[in-house]
Amino acid sequence: MQNDRPLTKLVSANGSLADSKQDCLTQLVQEQWIQPNLCLSIVSHSHLLREALARLLQTDWNHRLKHSSKEGDTSDTADSISTAEKLTQHLVLLDYGIGRDLMIPSIQQWRSQHPGCYVVVVELKQESDLILDCIEAGAHGYVLQGASSLEIAQTIERVCRGEAHCSPIITAKLFERLAQTKMAQKNAQPLREKPSLTQREIEVLHYVAQGCSDREIAAKLVIEVRTVKHHVHNLLRKLHVKYRWQAAQLAIENGWLAKI
Amino acid sequence: MNTSIRILIADLPEVVVEMLDQAIQQQPDLEWLGNVQGWEEIAVTVAQTDVLILGVEDVYALPEACFYFLRNQPNLKILLLTITDDEAIAYWRALHCHQLQITSSLSLIESIRQIYSLSPF
């Protein structure tokens, strides 16, 4: 395979070249469009999608586009959240392409730190459980894969009016899940006992709670990615949860990571 | 004689397609053949195509149908583009390939010209 990589430099939304990822992110965070009504942040790993959303929504909607940011870089996410504090109305477009494991904690993070902030997930797969997880995490709206800029703009408009929209099937499943959650709350123990976890599993859980990917955890602990996957698999089994964000939530809520 | 580069887009997010449509229409040397979904629709138009831009989850796994297109069209270039980040790989005859990063619509247009100019042999 030839691997010339002639176009490896990152290009920010204003077209200028950045020499490093961090420089580029800084430029993106600083980029602002001055429109008075609404601030919009786009979170995606894809430069092309960010550019497309920014351009088309600007044209169609004249939103205030505060910045595009790349999820996965914690300092950048922290930066964008801190900038959002200064604004009264703020909407975040989260691309499902950042991955399910990163998306759910991101929604929760935005919602918990900024209750006034609207969160809309774009390019979401048409899977009921996934949509319900997003809603449960705090998303105000979602747009499925293949949606046009017009559909995205309409969803944003609806969300900003305080309206929610989902298909009758999703609505029915949402009712079902609400009922189940209520039942579960009734039977829930106030504090879950810490299961017996190995030292390595606790270390992995610590990084999972920080939103690190398997690859990042492997690099930090100097172990193979498949070993990390093995530890995560064991963690989910021992904690009786389906997703890693649930494991992280459980650990944080019960203070299991406090001594690390 | 047609000297423009004929481009077919397939399986990319609609919002990205809308932007690329606008961007490519502004380039005199590029011709937008259309945006299609799925192999059946690609097969109808691919014979007139110089560069096929195909949205995929993994650029390292060339779909089976692409082998067939490359075998039958010596001049065809296929650019696999991930829809979740910036990775892309251009494939052409005899499975030559070239790795790229697409970080903007401008860099995509530059890449189209670059891979079009590659020799098929």
Poorest-pLDDT segment among A85-94, A99-108, B12-21 = A85-94
**Which positions 52-81 of B are in contact with A (Cβ < 8 Å)?**
81
CA angle centred on A198, ends A196 and A200, rounded to 5°: 150
| pLDDT for A72 | 39
A55–B contact, CB cutoff 8 A:
yes
Residues A154 and A222 in one domain: no
**Which positions 183-242 of A are in contact with B (Cβ < 8 Å)?**
none
Report the chain B residue with the minimal C-alpha distance to residue A151: B15
Residue A150 lies in a domain: yes
Mean pLDDT for the stretch of residues A23-37: 36
| pLDDT for A200 | 92
Instruction: Give the minimum alpha-carbon distance from A148 to chain B in angstroms, rounded to a whole number.
Output: 5
| pLDDT for A38 | 67
Residue B35 · residue B80 · CB < 8 Å: no
More confidently predicted of A46 and A194: A46
Chain B residues with beta carbon closer than 8 angstroms to that of A148:
14-15, 18
Residues A85 and A32 in one domain: yes
More confidently predicted of A32 and A150: A150
Residues A147 and A247 in one domain: no
Choose the closest CB to A52 out of B15, B97, B100: B15
List, edge to edge, every strand of the sheet that includes B87-92: B30-36, B5-10, B51-56, B77-82, B87-92, B96-101
* pLDDT over 90 (residue A141): yes
What does the pLDDT look like over A159-172, one tens digit per residue? Answer: 888 888 888 888 88
Residues A118 and A160 in one domain: yes
* pLDDT over 70 (residue A243): yes
Show the domains of chain B with their CATH numbers. Answer: 5-96+112-116 (3.40.50.2300)
Residue A187 lies in a domain: no
B66-104 CB burial, b ≥16 within 10 A, e <16: beebbeebeebbbbbbbbbbbbbbbbbbeebbbbbbbbb
Residues in chain A: 260
| pLDDT for A58 | 74
Pairing of strands A90-95, A64-69: unpaired
- Quote the CA–CA distance of A220 and A251 in Å, as a whole number: 20
Report the chain A residue with the minimal C-alpha distance to residue B110: A7
Amino acid, single-letter form, for residue B22: Q
Residue A145 lies in a domain: yes
More confidently predicted of A137 and A36: A137
* pLDDT over 60 (residue A65): no
Residues A129 and A206 in one domain: no
Residue A31 lies in a domain: yes
* pLDDT over 80 (residue B9): yes
Residue A49 lies in a domain: yes
Residue A183 lies in a domain: no
Residues A166 and A206 in one domain: no
Residue A65 lies in a domain: yes
Of A155, A171, A187, which closes a domain?
A171
Mean pLDDT for the stretch of residues A41-61: 83
B25–A contact, CB cutoff 8 A:
no
Residues A160 and A225 in one domain: no
More confidently predicted of A248 and B14: B14
Residues A79 and A148 in one domain: yes
Pairing of strands B77-82, B87-92: antiparallel
Choose the closest CB to A3 out of B83, B99, B104: B99
Residues A164 and A234 in one domain: no
Residues A134 and A19 in one domain: yes
Chain A residues with beta carbon closer than 8 angstroms to that of B38:
none
Residues A89 and A166 in one domain: yes
Choose the closest CB to A55 out of B19, B81, B83: B19
The residue segments making up the domain with residue A248 are: 199-253
What is the rounded end-to-end Cα distance, in angstroms, of chain B? 22
More confidently predicted of A88 and B55: B55
What is the rounded end-to-end Cα distance, in angstroms, of chain A? 44
pLDDT band at B107 (very low <50, low <70, confident <90, very high): very high
**Three-state secondary-structure class, residue A64:** strand
| pLDDT for A21 | 36
Report the chain A residue with the minimal C-alpha distance to residue B108: A48
The CATH number that applies at residue A48 is 3.40.50.2300
| pLDDT for A123 | 92
pLDDT band at A103 (very low <50, low <70, confident <90, very high): confident
Task: Please tell me the total count of domains within chain A.
Answer: 2
Residue A7 lies in a domain: no
More confidently predicted of B82 and B121: B82
Of A171, A190, A209, which closes a domain?
A171
Per the prediction, chain A carries an average pLDDT of 73
Q: Quick one: which of B63, B55, B112 has its CA closest to B85?
A: B55
Contact A52 B99 (CB under 8 A): no
Residues A26 and A153 in one domain: yes
| pLDDT for A35 | 44
Poorest-pLDDT segment among B45-49, B64-68, B92-96 = B92-96
Instruction: Give the minimum alpha-carbon distance from A153 to chain B in angstroms, rounded to a whole number.
Output: 11
Per the prediction, chain B carries an average pLDDT of 90
What does the pLDDT look like over A175-201, one tens digit per residue? Answer: 888 888 777 766 655 456 778 889 899
* pLDDT over 70 (residue A29): no
* pLDDT over 90 (residue B34): yes
What does the pLDDT look like over A196-218, one tens digit per residue? Answer: 889 899 999 998 888 788 888 99
pLDDT band at B4 (very low <50, low <70, confident <90, very high): very high
Express as a percent the part of chain B with pLDDT over 70: 97
The CATH number that applies at residue A212 is 1.10.10.10
Mean pLDDT for the stretch of residues B53-69: 89
